[in-house]
Every structure is written in C-alpha cells, then in structure tokens.
C-alpha cells in the first residue's frame, strides 16, 4: 500500500509519500525520476536525535549513500526544550564543517521538533537550501512535516522565531510508528480527529466506525493508511489554497487557541501538544454549540471520538478560567485585540472568527 499526495503550490510543489518501509527507499525517491529532487553526488546533512537515529539512522543512511549521496549526520538532544536557536547554531556548525553548499540539502529524521529545526536551518543556511522531511511521530507525519512552517521557540513563547520553507519531499513510513510511545501516538490522533472535524467528514465517520483509536497496534495497516493519507490530504489541500496563512490555513488551528493557553499555563509539563489540542477542541466545541455553529449532537460525537483515542477532554483543574482568558489576549492568534477562534461549521468544515465574546469563552471554560 503506497500513496502519493501532491502539495500543489505554484512555485514549490512537492509530494508526500506514504509508503511502508519508505525509509529504505528514501534515496531512490530523491535521486530517481527524470529530474532528481536533489542531484546524486550532492551532500546531505541528516539531522536527527540520538534515540531516533539509533532506531532508523542506519537504514536512512544506507538508502541515501546507495543512491549516490555523501551524507553527514548532526544529532541534537531530543525534546521541545531544545527547540532553540542554540540547537540551530549546532546545525549551522555541522553545515559549515561539512561544507554544505547551495545545491546540498538537509534531511530531517525525527518528530516535529527535529523537523521544525531542520526546516529553519535549511531556510536560512546560505539563504536557503533544500530540506527533506522524514517524520517519525504521528503528529509530525500528519501536521508538522507538511506545509513549510519551520522555526524555534523563544524563551518567552513557542514558535516565535521562524520562516516558511517548503520541503522538497515528505517521506512517511507508517511502520516507524510501531516504536512510537502510545502517548505520543494518541497526541497525533488529536490532530487526525481535528482534520475530520474541520475538513473531512468521511474521515471523521471512518474514525467513528473504528473499534479503537488509542494505540497503533489496534488500528491495523488498512485503517492506519487511511488515517495517514486522509490527514495528509487535508493538510495538503488547505496549504495549497493558502500557503502563508492569509486566511483559510488558520482553520488548522482548531483547538489550538485554548490548547496553547493550557500548554503554556502548565509550563509544557504534564500535558503534551496533542493532549492540549484535544482539550482545546472540546472547549471550542462547547462554544460552537452555544453559538449554534453546530449541534449538541455533533459536539458529543467529537467528544466521543477524542475519548476513544484516550485523550484528555477536561481543562486541568489547577487552571482558572481567568488565567486562560488573560493568556489568550497575548496569543499569536490575536488580531486587532480580538481573540481569533476556529469554529466548526457542522462536521467537516470550519471558519475563523473574531466574534467570540469573553462571556461565551467563560461559559465554555
């Protein structure tokens, strides 16, 4: 089972490949075809973290060297707290030592943190070299690796420093999810369910029909392939219509407004990104019912699906509604002083609005 999903951008179109054992064919995808994505003989800087590299590094390296590339590796410590300019400096140092040139490329092998940082380093090294994304977490597969958002955190806030830099190729190997911790798998499911709510009602209903969604091993190859391809398709369609987030792309932030506030107030401890998004989706869903964007029955269907993925649905009890509201005012999603919320329009569509009153938010919280 292999799928190729096009991301149709006018000047940087590329493909998302979903293929079991895709890591072993990475070199072929880059070098093959009439016009190689990166010319064989070129240098590639493979960026990863020690744990992922131990599991998949050799396979990626051997596929790339067999295709004729000269590969050097740069390993960075794992975790969101290392998503900093200091880590970017390490990538630059490796690029310098390895004499990475304009026609060379960087390859990100890892989760969202590695993908975002490698993308940012590639966007800025020599004013831009190619980057290839090989995501190893479900979250990175369905969200972070597609669409060209790259960057690092500032001590004062997440993703405050960044650039748009589309990859040349996204290679998704579903089999690597086998070794992903269950909690991280569920975090990715939050984004998958999000696509069902905001874009793809069929996907939503497919997930409803699944017996379990909380662990990789319960999905089976067929459902997993559908989950990956439909989610990537949703992301690709949205990004193709609005690459730089002038409008539509903001619907991808469904659940993220309150979700980010929760993550931030918890100081990124005890709740991961996907879990925070799930909590944010439940809160946004409540607001949507009160304001008639969808029905109470649709809100319940969303809740049931998140529960089926064993995701948290309640705001942690130690957080006060007032704290969350205050934090929302300082969020990136504020425009002209108005907090921007993504609201579902029934199941399978969404819109962005600044018309959510403080009272409506308070009531939902």
Q: How far is the CB of 351 from ligand GLY (least distance, A)?
A: 15
How many Å apart are CA 79 and CA 113, to the nearest integer? 7
From 25, 43, 83, 149, the catalytic residue: 149
Q: Could you confirm whether 333 is annotated as catalytic? A: no
Closest CB to ligand GLY: residue number = 252
CA distances from residue 160 to 226, 254, 323, 360, 365 in whole angstroms, order as listed: 33, 19, 21, 28, 26
H/E segment holding residue 121: helix 112-124
Smaller CB distance to ligand GLY: residue 132 or 146? Answer: 146
From 49, 153, 253, 272, the catalytic residue: 253
Q: Could you confirm whether 127 is annotated as catalytic? A: yes
Q: How far is the CB of 250 from ligand GLY (least distance, A)?
A: 8
Helices 296-308, 201-209: crossing angle, 10 deg rounding: 50
Cβ burial of 222 (10 Å; 0-12, 13-18, 19+) is exposed
User: Considering the rule CB under 6 A, would residue 143 count as an interface residue with ligand GLY?
Assistant: yes
Q: Could you confirm whether 260 is annotated as catalytic? A: yes
How many Å apart are CA 302 and CA 299, to the nearest integer? 5
User: Considering the rule CB under 6 A, would residue 83 count as an interface residue with ligand GLY?
Assistant: no
SS in 3 state form for 63-89?
Answer: HHHHCCCEEEEEECCCCHHHCCHHHHH
Site for ligand GLY in 225-264 (CB under 6 A): 249, 252
φ and ψ at residue 5, rounded to 5 degrees: -110, 120
Q: Could you confirm whether 267 is annotated as catalytic? A: no
Q: Could you confirm whether 299 is annotated as catalytic? A: no
Burial 33-54 (b: 16+ CB within 10 A, else e): eeebbbeeebbbbbbbbeebbe
Binding mask 113-142 for ligand GLY (x = CB under 6 A): ------------------------------
From 168, 186, 194, 235, the catalytic residue: 235
Of 45-53, 143-151, 202-210, 212-220, the segment contacting ligand GLY by CB under 6 A is 143-151
Q: How far is the CB of 259 from ligand GLY (least distance, A)?
A: 11
- Strand duo 14-18 + 169-172: pairing: parallel
Q: How far is the CB of 229 from ligand GLY (least distance, A)?
A: 18
Q: How far is the CB of 342 from ligand GLY (least distance, A)?
A: 11
User: Considering the rule CB under 6 A, would residue 147 count as an interface residue with ligand GLY?
Assistant: yes
φ and ψ at residue 364, rounded to 5 degrees: -70, -35
Which residues on adjacent β-strands are paired with residue 48? 75
Number of amino acids touching ligand GLY (CB under 6 A): 5
Q: Residues in the site for ligand GLY, rule: CB under 6 A? A: 143, 147, 149, 249, 252
Catalytic residues: 127, 149, 191, 235, 245, 249, 253, 256, 260, 273
């Amino acid at each position: 089972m292999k799928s190729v999903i096009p991301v149709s951008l006018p000047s940087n179109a590329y493909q998302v490949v979903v293929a079991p054992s895709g890591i072993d064919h990475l070199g072929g995808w880059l070098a093959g075809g009439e016009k190689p994505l990166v010319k064989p003989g070129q240098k590639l800087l493979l960026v990863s973290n020690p744990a992922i590299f131990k599991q998949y590094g050799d396979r990626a390296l051997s596929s790339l060297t067999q295709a004729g590339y000269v590969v050097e590796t740069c390993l960075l410590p794992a975790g969101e707290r290392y998503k900093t300019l200091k880590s970017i400096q390490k990538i630059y140092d490796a690029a310098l030592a390895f004499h990475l040139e304009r026609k060379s490329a960087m390859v990100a092998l890892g989760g969202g943190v590695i993908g975002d940082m490698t993308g940012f380093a590639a966007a800025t090294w020599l004013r831009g070299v190619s980057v290839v994304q090989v995501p190893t977490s479900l979250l990175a597969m369905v969200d972070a690796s597609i669409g060209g958002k790259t960057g690092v955190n500032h001590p004062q806030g997440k993703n405050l420093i960044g650039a748009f830099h589309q990859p040349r190729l996204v290679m998704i190997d579903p089999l690597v999810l086998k070794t992903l911790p269950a909690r991280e798998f569920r975090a990715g499911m939050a984004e998958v369910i999000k696509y069902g709510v905001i874009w793809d009602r069929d996907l939503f209903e497919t997930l409803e029909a699944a017996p379990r969604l909380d662990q990789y091993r319960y999905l089976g190859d067929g459902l997993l392939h559908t989950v990956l391809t439909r989610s990537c398709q949703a992301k690709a369609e949205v990004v193709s219509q609005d690459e730089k987030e002038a409008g539509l792309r903001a619907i991808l932030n469904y659940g993220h407004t309150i979700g980010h506030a929760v993550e931030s107030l918890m100081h990124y401890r005890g709740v991961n990104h996907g879990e925070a998004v799930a909590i944010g989706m439940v809160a946004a869903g409540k607001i949507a019912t009160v304001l008639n964007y969808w029905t109470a029955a649709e809100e319940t269907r969303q809740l049931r699906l998140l529960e089926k993925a064993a995701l948290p649905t309640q705001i942690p009890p130690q957080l006060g509604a007032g704290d969350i509201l205050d934090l929302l005012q300082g969020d990136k999603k504020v425009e002209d002083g108005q907090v921007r919320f993504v609201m579902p329009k029934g199941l399978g569509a969404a819109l962005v609005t600044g018309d959510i009153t403080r009272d409506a938010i308070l009531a939902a919280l």
